[in-house]
Each structure stands twice: as C-alpha cells, then as structure tokens.
A and B are shown apart, each in its own frame.
Chain A
Amino acid sequence: MRILVTGLNHKTAPVEVREKLAFDGPKLDEGLRELLRLRNVEEGIIISTCNRVELYTHVKEVESAIEEIKQFLSTFHSIKPESLEGSLYFYSERDAIRHVFRVASSLDSMVVGEPQILGQVKDAFDFALKKKATGVLLNKLLKKAISVAKRVRTETRIAENAVSISYAAVELAKKIFADLSEKTFMLLGAGEMAELAVRHLINNGVRDVTVANRTYERGVELAREFCGRAIKFDDFKTELVNTDIIICSTGAPTYILYKEDMQRIMKERKNRSVFIIDISVPRNIDPEINDIDNVYLYDVDDLQGVVDANILERRKEAERAEAIVEEEVEKFLKWQNSLDAVPTIVALRNKAEEIKQTELERLFNRLPGLDERERNIIMTSVNAIVNRLIHPPTAALKEDHEDRDALIAMIKTLYGLEENGSKNRV
C-alpha cells in the first residue's frame, strides 16, 4: 500500500492553470467518484483551494497510478496532458506524508502560517469521509495531519506575527487598546495602503469611522464605503480630541500636525491614548509627537520594521515547525510499516487455527467416548500449545524491525504461508 500525492500549487502553476484544474462545487463530488474508479486508486481525497489543487490517494502501484491520475485530470478538466507538464508534482511514501503534514500546518502556504488552510484540509477530509472515499490509511493520515497542524500551532509561534503593513497596524492597535469596537477612528487623506489598513481595522471591530480628505467629495465617497462620516479637512484637529486611532496618508509636502497641536489635544482629551499611523511619504506628522505620553506614533518605516522582524521570526518558527513535521512523519511511517506485517500475522494465525481444527476433529473422531469435560481439557491444552508456538513469530512481526520485509519473507517461507489477495484493504 502506497500513499501518493498529486498536485499543483501557487509555486508550480500560474493562476490560469490552477483555475482550470479546480474542483469547485459539483465538480468535487463528481471528481472524487471518478478518481476512485481508477484501477490503481483505493482511497482518495481532493483538496481544491485558490492556491492549490491536490489529490491524496492510497494506490496499489505508484507508477501506473501516476499515469492514471494524469490521464484522469486531463480528461476530467478537458485540457491537454502536455499543458500539465511542469505544473504537477507527485510525492509518494515518506515525501507524500511529509507534504500532507506541511500543507495542513500551513508550511507550504503562500503566507506561511496563515490559518485558513487547516480548515480547508478539514473540509476536504470531511467531504471525502461523507462520500466514503477514504479508508484506514487516509483516515489515519488526515487525522494525523490535523493533529500535527495543531501541534505546530501550539508549540511554535508561526501564526502569531503580522506580515503585512496594514495587518501590523491592527496588531499594534490591539496592544494599545482593549476593545477596538469602542474606539473612534479617523482616516486623514486616502491611498491604497491606507484604505487596506482601514478595512483591516473594520474587520477587527472598529465601527466609528471619520474621513477627512482635502477633496471633500472624495472624502464623502470613502466615508460611504466604510459606513462612516466625512468632515472638512480643515476641521480635523478639532475632531482629533475625540479620535483614538488615526491613519494619515495625505500628499502634503510638510507636517500637518505638530507637537504643540498634539499636546493641546491630549490635554483636552484627558490623556486618553492615541495611536497614530503615518504612512505618508514624506511624513505628515511631526515625529516628536511620539514623545508625548500616551501617544504612539508609527511611520511607514516603523511598520515595515515590524513586518520584517515578523517575517524573520516566522522563518525561525517555521524551522521548528519543520522539525515537528519530520518527527511526526517518522511516527506515521512506523505505524504504516507495522500495517505491512498485518496480512502475514493474519495468515499465520489462520494457518495455525486451520491445523488445530483439523487435528482436533481427527482426534475426537478416533476417541468417540470422550465426555464434554475431557474434550474441553484437550482443547484448552491444544490452544495453549498453538498460541505459544505462534506467539514469538507474531511478536517479532509486530515489533519495529529494520529489515521487516526480509523477516516477513522468511516467516512466509518457514511456515509455508500464501497470502490471498487481502493485502490491501486492511
């Protein structure tokens, strides 16, 4: 039994190819059914997200399964097999297990540590479970992958740090304020990055939004977009008395807010904390404002610094996560190898049972005068002999052996065992 991963992701294929191969909506159900119809495929799961399409399969024979799956993908999505060349990757055995664990743990994601992928893996697994597309091997693999992902999440800080400027702004706001939904926010100016940051803030609970733009109409437009209100640009200083979070992104060539202004404003607002994000270049807010108590001013370089440090931190944490994955892959392989011995153990037991039954029957036929009690005593004793004889080889098979395949072969020869087709579905 072999695990095979077939797939393509944001690293190997452009979005034009990925969207063609996506299994969305009804295609997922249909695709899964056709996948299972392939001769070499025993179990299957399909994961289809905007960044990756992957097929996790339990196959009889890897090489031929790869060919079948390639064929399946190109006919199912009606694209030429040649156009898939170079985009698809195939992993089997150890590499396949590692890949599944890394995907679930978000180590293979575009933004390492992003949390959505685990949910997507779970959904795909649940769907396959519901369609009865999985068996012992993939069930164990996916359950393990989910627990590895959880372990990575709790034991490393891979998902903790913000890796974009707008997200960093939100994280900082959360370290200054307890509840963003109680805070008032003002956007000074406009700009793509500023608007992205506003959206992030709104997603994190900010409700009270004010927009001050030099062009009032543009301000009104933005305010409508954020369900806020617009004020005249010249009034912004008066409004700051009631504002807790400010994002400033105007095109002004000089400072528009000086230390003296802010000192006065802080007095009026009784020193309640203010968080100012100045992403304008050149800067619009006097940097000395950061020296006032309870005012926290971050410019675009400060935020970039946070992001860079976080990316570095994530990389370090990712290394620790990889070590965890490696450890779990080893454990899984051990479990999987122990499955290899199961058919032999079963065959050995069956054979012993068969011999025992035949011989007992023969014995009881020859000694018809035995009563129930005597028969029971003989049976107990024969059972004991058989069990004691087959115990050592069974135990040896169950143990974690370096050369298990050779051991299995040897035991088969010694006991004259023949396996009958039950090898796969255990």
Chain B
Amino acid sequence: MTILFELALTFYFASTIVGVVELFKGSKATTRIMVGLTAIGFVLHTINILLRYFIAGHIPITNMHEAASFFSWCIVLLFFYIEYRYRIGLLGSFIMPVVFVLMLSSSMLPREIKPLSPMLQSSWLAVHTTLAFLGDAAFAMAAGLGVMYLIQEHFLKSKHLGGLFQRLPNLQILDEINYKLITIGFPLLTLAIITGALWAESTLGSYWRWDPKEVWSLITWFIYVLVLHVRLRVGWKGKKAAILSIVGFLAVLFTFFGVNLLLKGFHSFVR
C-alpha cells in the first residue's frame, strides 16, 4: 500500500520534471509523455486511496497525510478534465508542481490508520470532506491558470514574444477557464460549509463555533464572493481576476495547512 503511494509520487515527480522541461523546449511529444506519466501516477494513487478506504472502512481523509494526498488526487482529476475539455498547452507544467509539492508534504507526514474518533464517525464525513476538497482543487486549478494568465499577459504587454509565449495559450481561454473553475469551486465550498454546519449541529449541538478552520473557510468564501462580484458587477476581467484567484488560493492553502498546523480546533488532526 505504501509502495503504491511512493510510486504515484515518483510518477508525479517525473511528470513535473517533463512539465518543467516543456516550458523551455516543448513539443507535442513532451505533452503526451507528461500526460501519460500523470495518468500512470493517478491510477496508482487511486488504488492507494481505495485500499486505505477498504482497510479503514471510511473515507481516508482523517489525518494530514491522507488529506494532502486526497487533495492532490482531486487536483489531478480536475487536471484531466480541463486537459481533455480544452486541450490548452502547458497546463500540466503549472499544475503538476503544485501536485508534487502537496504529495511530497503528504509523504512526510505519519501514515498509520488510527481508529476514527467517535466524533468523526458520521456519514457527513465523506460528504463534507469530498465537497471541500473538490472545491479546493478547483481553486488550485484556477490559481494555476491565473499564473499562466499573468505570465502571458506580461509577455504581451512588454512585447517579449519568445518561445514560451508561443506555447502558452491565448489570454481569453485562460480567463474563461479560470472563471469557470471558480464557478465550480464556489458552490462546492458553499456546500462544504453548509454540510459542515449541519454536521456540527448533529454532533456538537450548534451550527457554528468559530473554530479557526470555520473562520478561515469563511474568509476564503468571502474572497471568492469578492472575485465573482468584481468580475460580474465591476468588470474585473483578466489580470485583476487572475491575481484575485491566486490570492483566493493562498487563503485556501492557509485554511488547509496553516490552520491545521498552527492553530488548534476540532478540525485539526493533531489532538
């Protein structure tokens, strides 16, 4: 089981390397190799997660190792969706490094499956966490596209039109997918917060307890409300929208890692 995780990590690493090479010297062949390596890693990763599910008897998102691993899995899943839906160049070069770093941090965290604490034993666990992670994955992807947008926009403004400029996709499609991902991520995050509240009510007796994770999720939620608002009402498209989507993802990352590692609360796995 461990070996599956390590193998998945290795394939993601290889795909990251190919992705970085692609930035400097791309061709159709490198894209195919990159997607292929990612696909192999993804299959191994999926089996790893399924095995943990069967061994533990519940969805494997109950320690930091599992959470980071599942988060990466969601991102890769979305990567394939976007890759096959839009076929835009170089997406993997920007996404796979994020996946690799998440997987690497996951690999360094303790992996043993411990009995689930009674408080978490609920069918809400699977629903709440899956929604939250899929939403976060969409935001991660949006941030990756935001970075691509900013790079391409910089090339066009400064009139440096080299090889990377040629390989990056056009601004409009980057902006459109970025927006689309936020419209996917936002309802997922909203539902995650709602199901979290319902779950808290059923086990702890109150909907909202100002737990740090709850607070930071709310902050993240407001950031994305802002992203959507300024885009639709004020017309902040392109560069500003790209920057905001990156800021939003930083909030997601802090909610995910920072709160668990720095602040304590019942979301924190370290107890």
Chain A positions within 8 Å of B, measured between CB atoms, are: 154-155, 157, 160-161, 172, 174-179, 267, 270-273, 290, 293-294, 296, 298, 302, 305-306, 309
Q: Would you call B156 an interface residue if the criterion is a C-beta within 8 Å of the partner chain's C-beta atoms?
A: yes
Answer whether A309 and B161 are a contact pair too, CB < 8 Å, given A154-B28, A177-B170.
Answer: yes
Say if the beta carbon of B92 comes within 8 Å of chain A: no
Q: Which residues of A contact B176 (CB under 8 A)?
A: 178
Q: Which of B157, B165, B235 lies in contact with A290, CB distance below 8 A? A: B157
The reply to whether A172 and B236 form a contact with Cβ atoms under 8 Å apart is: no
B164-222 interface with A by 8 A CB criterion: 165-166, 168, 170-173, 176
Interface of B is mostly: helix
CB distance from B221 to the nearest CB of A (A): 25
A425–B159 CA distance with the chains assembled, in angstroms: 58
Q: Is the CB of B239 within 8 A of A293?
A: yes
Question: Measured between alpha carbons, how far is A267 from B29 in the docked complex, in Å?
Answer: 43
Instruction: Give every chain B residue within 8 A of A157 (Cβ-Cβ).
Output: 163, 166
> Which residue of A176, A298, A306 contacts B172 across the interface (Cβ within 8 Å)?
A176
Hey, which chain A residues are within 8 Å of B236, CB to CB? 271
Residues A296 and B172 in contact, CB atoms below 8 Å apart: no
14 residue pairs from A and B, CB less than 8 Å apart: A160-B166, A172-B161, A175-B165, A178-B170, A178-B173, A267-B235, A270-B235, A271-B236, A271-B237, A293-B238, A293-B240, A294-B237, A294-B239, A306-B159
- Given A175-B152, A175-B165, A177-B172, do A298 and B238 touch, yes or no (CB 8 Å)? no
Which residue of the partner chain, among B28, B159, B168, B173, contacts A302 with CB atoms under 8 Å?
Answer: B159
Given known A155-B27, A157-B166, A305-B159, contact A178–B172 (CB-CB < 8 A): yes
Q: Which residue of B lies closest to A301 (CB)?
A: B159
Q: Tell me the complex Cα distance, A183–B26, Å.
A: 29
- B238–A294 touching, CB < 8 Å: yes
Q: How large is the interface on B (under 10, 10 to 19, 20 to 34, 35 or more residues)?
A: 20 to 34
**What mask results when residues 6 to 40 of chain B are scored 1 for a CB within 8 Å of chain A, else 0?**
00000000000000000000011100000000000
Cα A154 to Cα B163 in complex, Å, equals 15
Partner of A175 from the list B27, B29, B170 (CB cut-off 8 Å) is B170
* Residue of A155, A178, A306 contacting most chain B CB atoms (<10 Å): A178
A144, chain B: closest CB distance, angstroms: 21
Task: Encode B230-271 as 1/0 by CB contact (under 8 A) with A.
Answer: 000001111110000000000000000000000000000000
Query: Shortest CB–CB separation between residue B158 and chain A, in angstroms?
Result: 9
The 10 A-B pairs at the shortest CB distance, nearest first, are namely A270-B235, A178-B172, A271-B235, A178-B173, A271-B237, A294-B238, A175-B170, A177-B172, A302-B159, A293-B239
CA distance A157 to B239 in the complex (A): 29
A296 to B153 CA separation, bound complex (whole angstroms): 9
- The complex places the Cα of A320 from the Cα of B162 at a distance, in Å, of 18
What is the bound-complex CA distance between A296 and B157, given in angstroms? 6
Tell me the complex Cα distance, A298–B156, Å: 9
Chain B proximity of A199: nearest CB distance (Å) = 21
B237 pairs with A272, CB closer than 8 A? yes
List, in ascending order, chain B residues with CB within 8 A of A272's CB: 235, 237
Question: How distant is the Cα of A122 from the Cα of B235 in the complex, in angstroms?
Answer: 51
Contacts of B29 in A (CB 8 A): 154
Bound complex: CA A174 to CA B166 (Å): 10
Considering only CB atoms, which chain A residue lies closest to B172 in the complex? A178
The residue in chain A whose Cβ has the minimal distance to the Cβ of B171 is A176
B7 to chain A, nearest CB (A): 31
Q: How far is the CB of B82 from chain A (nearest CB, A)?
A: 15
Q: Which residues of A contact B239 (CB under 8 A)?
A: 293-294
In the assembly, what is the distance between CA of A152 and CA of B152, in Å?
Answer: 27
Cα–Cα, bound, A87→B83 (Å) = 53
Which of B156, B161, B235 contacts A176, CB < 8 Å?
A: B156
Give chain A nearest CB distance to B210 CB in angstroms. Answer: 37
Complex Cα gap A294–B241 (Å): 11
B240 to A, closest residue via Cβ: A293
A175 to chain B: closest CB distance in Å?
5
- B133-175 CB contacts (< 8 Å) to partner A: 152, 156-157, 159, 161-163, 165-166, 168, 170-173
**Which chain B residues border A294 with CB–CB below 8 Å?**
237-239
Residue of A nearest to B237 (CB): A271
For residue A24, give the distance in angstroms from its CB to the closest CB of chain B: 37
Of the listed residues B159, B235, B238, B239, the one surrounded by the most CB atoms of chain A closer than 10 A to its CB is B159
Q: Is the CB–CB distance between A273 and B173 below 8 Å?
A: no
List 18 extra interface pairs beyond A160-B166, A175-B165, A179-B172, CB under 8 A: A154-B29, A157-B163, A161-B166, A172-B161, A175-B156, A175-B168, A176-B156, A177-B172, A270-B235, A271-B238, A273-B171, A273-B238, A294-B237, A294-B239, A298-B159, A302-B159, A305-B159, A309-B161
The complex places the Cα of A161 from the Cα of B159 at a distance, in Å, of 15
CA–CA, A190 to B105, complex, Å?
60
B-side contacts of A154, CB under 8 Å: 27-29
Chain B residues, Cβ within 8 Å of A155: 27
**Complex Cα spacing A302 to B160, Å:** 10
Q: Which of A160, A176, A271, A306 contacts B170 (CB 8 A)?
A: A176
Which chain B residue shows the least CB distance to A177? B172
Compute how far the CA of A350 lies from the CA of B197 in the bound complex, rounded to whole angstroms: 92
Q: In whole angstroms, how far apart are the Cα atoms of A306 and B176 in the complex?
A: 27
A270 touches B27 (CB 8 A): no
CB pair A172 B156 closer than 8 Å: yes
State whether A273 and B172 are in contact (beta carbons under 8 Å apart), knowing that A155-B27, A176-B156, A293-B238 are contacts in the complex.
yes
In this complex, what residue of B is CB-closest to A175?
B170
